[in-house]
Amino acid sequence: MIPGKYRSVSGRAANNVNCGLHLVIQTSSLPEKNKVEFKLNKDTSSFPGRLLQHDLERNYSSRQGDHINLVSSSLSSFPILQRSSEEKILYSDRLSLERQKLTVCPIINGEDHLRLLNFQHNFITRIQNISNLQKLISLDLYDNQIEEISGLSTLRCLRVLLLGKNRIKKISNLENLKSLDVLDLHGNQITKIENINHLCELRVLNLARNFLSHVDNLNGLDSLTELNLRHNQITFVRDVDNLPCLQHLFLSFNNISSFDSVSCLADSSSLSDITFDGNPIAQESWYKHTVLQNMMQLRQLDMKRITEEERRMASVLAKKEEEKKRESHKQSLLKEKKRLTINNVARQWDLQQQRVANIATNEDRKDSDSAQDPCQIDGSTLSAFPEETGPLDSGLNNALQGLSVIDTYLVEVDGDTLSLYGSGALESLDRNWSVQTAGMITTVSFTFIEFDEIVHVLPKLKIKFPNSLHLKFKETNLVMLQQFNALAQLRRVDQLTIDPQGNPVVNFTLWKYYVLFRLSHFSMQKINGTEVTQNDMIMAERLFGILAHVASSELPQYRLISILGDARKKQFRYLLESKGKKPGIINEENNDSKRLVGENTNRATLNYTTRDFYNEKLEEIKEKKKFCKTYIEDLVKEATEINMKNEALQKLWPQMFIELVRDAVIEIRNKNSYMKLCLQQITDQK
């Protein structure tokens, strides 16, 4: 029987066994004197001790002077082996032909009971002439020159096959060896594991020192307990978790650089001993803890027993790693939700811009009073826009099913940057921001928001985030230079970034100079990431200084004062009052202050009125015009009626006057009667 344990498949036995044989090459016609004799050395090595331990524990005594008889033959190209009856009885189940300089396998007749056959350290290139040894259970062809596995189809009882240190390039022709228990193929030229899935009784497989780059195709090896893959070029491992009995796995000296490439090992419940030494992964600081926390069933790592302290530390690190994974998963969910929300906001923005363009086109074609279908402008229809679904990670797919992707805005604080997506995000400025968070914000980014809507919240921005120095605008419909005037109401702006996407104003050649001129009181440092130089400021003043002067000088004082703020009104009044004073009264410092006030006042006249505010003012003006028109019409009508009455009076007055005089004369003609009548009227009135 084959021993119950195989500790290794690469060791060589230390005991010396001489099988006491005669190797004879002969024909029936050769005389006895033509026989050539060779003496066997009694130090001939036996079969591998670790594989054939229970057979080798038997004490075989070596005999001096055993002979091999070789007889030259012209009828056969193979040597023929013959042993004496005594030798067959003494060594009936084993035969060792190692170190005999054999180039072919000899013909072995009359050895039907042979169980162990050793051809170590020869020059054999092909396995042949052993098909008649059907009871053979161990075949050792270590250190030969075999290039192909063949000639074994009849050895159905074979349990141990040792083909290490040969020239084999492919695993093949093992279909009938279903009882194979040990297969040693180390030191060959094999590049792929294949054609062994039927070896369901195989317990030991040695593929060390080959040319393997990956490990897979191990399904079906249900009895495999030891797998040796040392000294290959392996970068990843698969299918090992499908080996239910695997206990020992040796992966030393390969090219494994990450645990992900061998993650299937974590799913193996039987693995107790593994080696990774000599791999890039073994040089990492996290190597040992990662292996232990993913493979808690291990007893040995790199041939060293694992202590309880190491397990405890690995368990602690495993909990920390799990927390990191949960946090990473949470961040991934938030990141994906952010992406979906931004995509939704972007679609709504594009749809809104398209509708605005359509409305403008329709207004060009129709009268300005033509009614628009309210459903074409109603923003509630945006939610019916088909939702885009990009490729998602399988681990996030289920979790993302519960996320809302119909959000119309997004507010994000990342470090010192506040990012606002969608017009609904502007409402966040009304929140009760903590002093620490608000003070930390130095950059505010606006995306997919109409600039006219941003203008309304600029005063809030100045109050809520006093340290904000950098403004970014992307897809905000900045279309004309006048819109930059609205930024003057902020407290301070050091940097301004206008993304060309969705902001046509950047196509104007002089837009940067206009910004520098209009916002010169901010002493801006960068525009779109470019440093502002003194030459830029001079050029801006030359280009737009006259424009500001003309704008301020042509406006009436009442109009100018209505445009300016309260502080500017005081400065402007001070400027007007100081014009009548003599030059000596105002010192040089006041002159400089007055000059600066004048410059700021000139720039302040370059104001911007948003479209909504303009429409409101336009409606207000229309109402006032209507009221004035009605009032004037009423006045004209009333004046016309008065004039008509006057003309009628002028025509009727002469006749009326005559009648009045006549009635008076008639009444006072009888004085007594007239007095009684008057007294009677007075009495009646009381």
- pLDDT score, position 626: 87
- C-beta separation of 243 from 252 below 8 A: no
Which regions of 448-563 does DSSP assign to beta strands (E)?
470-474, 495-498, 526-527, 530-531
Give me the residue label for tokens 């193979």. 78
Question: In which residue ranges of the chain is pLDDT below 50?
Answer: 1-74, 370-392, 395-396, 399-405, 566-567, 579-599
Round to whole Å and give the CA distance between 52 and 406.
Answer: 72
Distance CA 1, CA 17 (A): 19
pLDDT at 8: 39
Check if the beta carbon of residue 563 is closer than 8 Å to that of residue 555.
yes
pLDDT of residue 575: 53
Nearest CA-CA partner of 353 in 387, 382, 331, 319: 382
Helix axes 308-365, 287-294, angle to 10 degrees: 90
Complete edge-to-edge strand list for the sheet that includes strand 410-414: 410-414, 417-421, 443-447, 470-474, 495-498, 526-527, 530-531
Please report the pLDDT score of residue 22 as a whole number: 36
Taking only the tens place, the pLDDT of each residue in 442-493 is 999 999 999 988 988 888 888 888 888 899 999 998 988 888 888 888 878 8
pLDDT of residue 4: 37
Distances (CA, A) of 600 to 95, 537, 550, 555, 595: 112, 15, 14, 15, 9
Please report the pLDDT score of residue 506 as a whole number: 92
- The residues facing 139 across adjacent strands are 117, 161
CATH superfamily assigned to domain 410-564 = Ribonuclease Inhibitor (3.80.10.10)
**Cβ-based neighbours of 378, under 8 Å, separated by 6 or more:** none
Where are the chain's structural domains? 410-564, 615-683
- Angle, alpha carbons 59-40-27 (nearest 5°): 120
pLDDT of residue 187: 95
pLDDT of residue 564: 54
Q: What number of other Cβ atoms are within 10 A of residue 550's Cβ?
A: 12
- Distance (Å, whole) CA 38 – CA 63: 15
Query: CB–CB of 501/447 below 8 Å?
Result: no
The secondary structure of residue 371, as a DSSP letter, is: P
Q: Which of 238, 180, 231 is nearest to 205 (CA)?
A: 180
- Measured CA to CA, the distance from residue 237 to residue 68 in angstroms comes to 49
